[in-house]
């Protein structure tokens, strides 16, 4: 134990790619946020795939391994649990972890439905535990800077915006029919996977969504079933074919409570697009532009010209968000993994302070309600109001 810090035992449930990212974030958080009063210690890891938990322990130093996630709750030193298992397990694991009095860091979308997200939220509230949800893109320092500029009125009143989340991870026709493509295990497909991030950013920057109309589609209706354990986005050419049960693509028109109009679009089958995530926000006196692939750069147009007003590339620096915890000067690149380190720090800080920091379970409920409104609108072909959480 490091002198001056309170040890906090953590467990990771599910050790695919995202479980690895969580473990790395716990290992790095003290390097970037030395002021945190708690020191995470990797106590336990659980994964049902034979050998995976053992590999995690060998690489990251987890003290114990198990194939049954329930075993981590029997370990008295575990105070917080990262839930990085597939979507269909989120509710069961999330509720049980919270009821056992452990703090919860869970990946979005928190289950398959808004009801699932509400159930985990209620369990955490009743148990008095803290939570974090994996809406990591809001932690990009340039996004934090954009939020401050919008709130300060630096681009005037927001009139309209566009949020895009395009990826090609499911574009190959031989992509395996894993749990992600089954409604009963993966939920709403691209809505829960990518559009959830876009909805969170819309709320984070522009406020509550009042109404929307949406359209959705499946463009690759069949995929080959995998013959063994999978991690990430693998191919399974030649296997037995099965039907894809959730959407590849969604587009929506949104109206915010403030009156802004928003175009939101997400695709997991966008050939030629690799993690093409970002936004454009237009106001009565300026505009802001952000591309995740140029994470530290913010396109800014502001002033009093209105017409022929130029756009400047601003490289955010130590004054923006948590940038100073990673780099000393503007223009030095940050990474996706850095955003998860920030997320880990906010989670640990919420436990230490016993008050929320960063995205929490209530944000997952808000997003899930909007996603269900999108699915309902796409089904009936009409505008729908977004209900209260």
DSSP states of 332-345: ----HHHHHHHHHH
Boundary-marking domain end, from 120, 136, 152: 136
Residues 143 and 124 in one domain: no
265 and 198: one domain?
yes
Least confident of 49-63, 99-113, 125-139, 224-238: 224-238
For 147-198, how does the pLDDT look when each residue is reduced to its tens digit (9 = 90+)? 999 999 999 999 999 999 999 999 999 889 988 899 999 999 999 999 999 9
Model confidence pLDDT, tens digit, residues 294-329: 999 999 999 999 999 999 999 999 999 999 999 999
Do 216 and 97 lie in one domain? The reply is no
**Which domain-ending residue is among 117, 136, 155?**
136
Domains in the chain, number:
2
Distance, CA of 119 to chain centre: 19
In a domain, 48, yes or no: yes
Residues 145 and 35 in one domain: no
Mention every residue, 6+ apart, whose C-beta is less than 8 A from residue 29.
36, 40, 341, 344, 345, 348
Residue 344 lies in a domain: no
Range of the structural domain that residue 288 is part of: 138-333+360-385
Say yes or no: 90 and 148 in one domain: no
The predicted model gives 229-252 an average pLDDT of 81
Task: Give the start-end residues of each E strand in 102-256.
Answer: 103-106, 131-133, 158-166, 209-217, 222-224, 241-243, 249-256
Residue 228 has pLDDT above 70, yes or no: no
CA–CA gap between residue 204 and residue 106 (Å, rounded): 19
Q: Are residues 67 and 79 in the same domain?
A: yes
CATH code at position 72: 3.40.50.720
- Domain end: 111, 136, 161, which one? 136
Tell me whether residue 290 is in a domain: yes
Do 152 and 291 lie in a common domain?
yes
Residue 345 lies in a domain: no
Comparing C-alpha atoms, which of 274, 273, 329 is closest to residue 141?
329
The pLDDT, as a whole number, for residue 1 is 41
Tens of pLDDT, residue by residue over 255-268, are 999 999 999 999 99
**Are residues 113 and 123 part of one domain?**
yes
With a threshold of 0.85, does the pTM exceed it?
A: yes
Query: Which phi and psi (to 5°) does residue 15 adopt?
Result: -120, 55
Burial 246-261 (b: 16+ CB within 10 A, else e): bbbbbbbebbbeeebe
- Does one domain contain both 78 and 192? no
Question: Do 187 and 315 fall into the same domain?
Answer: yes
Closest residue by Cα to residue 257 from 294, 307, 317, 212? 212
* Pair (375, 285) in one structural domain: yes
Beta bridge partners of 254: 212, 262
Same domain as 294, residue 251: yes
């Amino acid at each position: 134990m490091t002198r001056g810090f309170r040890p906090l035992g953590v467990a990771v449930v599910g050790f695919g790619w995202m479980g690895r990212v969580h473990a790395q974030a716990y290992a790095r958080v003290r390097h970037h946020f030395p002021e945190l009063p708690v020191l995470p210690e990797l106590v336990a890891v659980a994964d049902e795939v034979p050998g995976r938990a053992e590999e995690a322990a060998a690489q990251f130093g987890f003290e114990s391994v198990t194939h049954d996630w329930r075993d981590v709750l029997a370990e008295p030193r575990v105070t917080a649990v990262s839930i990085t298992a597939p979507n269909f397990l989120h509710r069961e694991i999330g509720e049980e972890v919270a009821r056992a009095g452990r703090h919860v860091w869970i990946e979005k979308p928190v289950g398959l439905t808004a009801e699932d997200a509400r159930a985990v939220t209620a369990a955490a509230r009743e148990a008095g535990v803290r939570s974090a949800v994996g809406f990591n893109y809001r932690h990009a320092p340039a996004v934090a800077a954009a939020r401050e500029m919008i709130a300060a009125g630096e681009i005037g009143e927001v009139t309209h915006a566009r949020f895009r989340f395009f990826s090609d991870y499911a574009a190959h026709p031989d992509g395996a029919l894993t749990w992600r493509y089954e409604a009963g295990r993966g939920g709403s497909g691209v809505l829960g996977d990518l559009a959830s991030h876009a909805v969170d950013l819309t709320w984070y920057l522009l406020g509550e969504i009042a109404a929307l109309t949406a359209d959705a589609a499946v463009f690759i209706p069949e995929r080959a079933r995998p013959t063994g354990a999978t991690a990430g986005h693998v191919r399974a050419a030649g296997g037995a074919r099965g039907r894809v049960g959730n959407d590849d693509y969604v587009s929506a028109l949104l109206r915010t409570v403030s009156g802004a109009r928003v175009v939101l679009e997400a695709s997991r089958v966008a050939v030629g697009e690799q993690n093409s995530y970002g936004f454009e926000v237009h106001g009565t006196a300026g505009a802001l532009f952000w591309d995740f692939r140029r994470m530290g750069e913010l396109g800014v147009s502001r002033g009093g010209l209105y017409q022929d007003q130029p756009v400047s590339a601003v490289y955010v620096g130590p004054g923006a968000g948590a940038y100073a915890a990673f780099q000393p000067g503007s223009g030095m690149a940050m990474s996706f993994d850095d955003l998860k380190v920030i997320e880990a720090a906010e989670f640990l800080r919420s436990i230490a302070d016993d008050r929320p920091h960063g995205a929490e379970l209530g944000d997952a409920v808000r997003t899930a309600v909007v996603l269900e409104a999108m699915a309902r609108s796409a089904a009936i072909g009409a505008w729908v109001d977004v209900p209260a959480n």
